[in-house]
Amino acid sequence: MKHLLENCEEKFKPTAQLLQQSFYVDNCVTSLPTMDQAIKFKWESEELLSKAQFELKGREVGPVVEDEHAEERSVQVLGLSWNLKDVNLSCDLRGTEKYEKGPATKRKILALAHMIFDPLGFTCPFTIIPKMLLQEAWNLKTG
């Protein structure tokens, strides 16, 4: 894909650059200021990638302007939930209550620390705490 994007036609260069910056493994996540730019990006990226039999799937477009009648829905993006109406990211912590029962163990702390997949680090201010607690437990050689 990198070779394809680096050697594309001149007219596709801006889209190719945006595509190169927007991929994380097999997820392309980008933001554009207008719907016209989003439509152009969609068309040009399909055109570019189809030359190597790549196909973009699961496109989502959030609202350009506040629409009180817009449908409330969320999609998964890189482990986070993206609310398309409110244009915000969140993570799902349901299921953590099962770790409250019984003694705190390194296994439970590890499970909690890695419960959230967040390769971009949005939740780092919160997820660092159990990771530091786990590190301290190992340093103290606790059970």
Q: Where are the domains of the chain?
A: 2-50, 65-90, 96-139
Sheet with 88-90, strands from edge to edge, namely 74-77, 80-83, 88-90
Residue reference for tokens 């009180």: 68
Is the per-residue pLDDT at 46 higher than 80? yes
Position 113: which residue type?
A: A
pLDDT in tens, 102-124: 888 888 888 888 888 787 788 88
Q: What is the pLDDT of residue 63?
A: 60
In the predicted model, what is the mean pLDDT of residues 49-64? 76
Q: What is the pLDDT of residue 64?
A: 52
Q: Is the predicted pLDDT of residue 61 greater than 70, yes or no?
A: no
CB neighbourhood size of 5 (10 A): 20
Q: Which of 128, 113, 119 is nearest to 23 (CA)?
A: 119
pLDDT at 15: 93
The DSSP letter of residue 143 is -
Per-position DSSP letters for 102-139, written without gaps between them: S---HHHHHHHHTSS--TT-TTHHHHHHHHHHHHHHHH
Distance CA 87, CA 62 (A): 7
Average pLDDT, stretch 47-63? 79
Euclidean distance between CA atoms 94 and 137, whole angstroms: 25
- Mean of the per-residue pLDDT values for the chain? 82
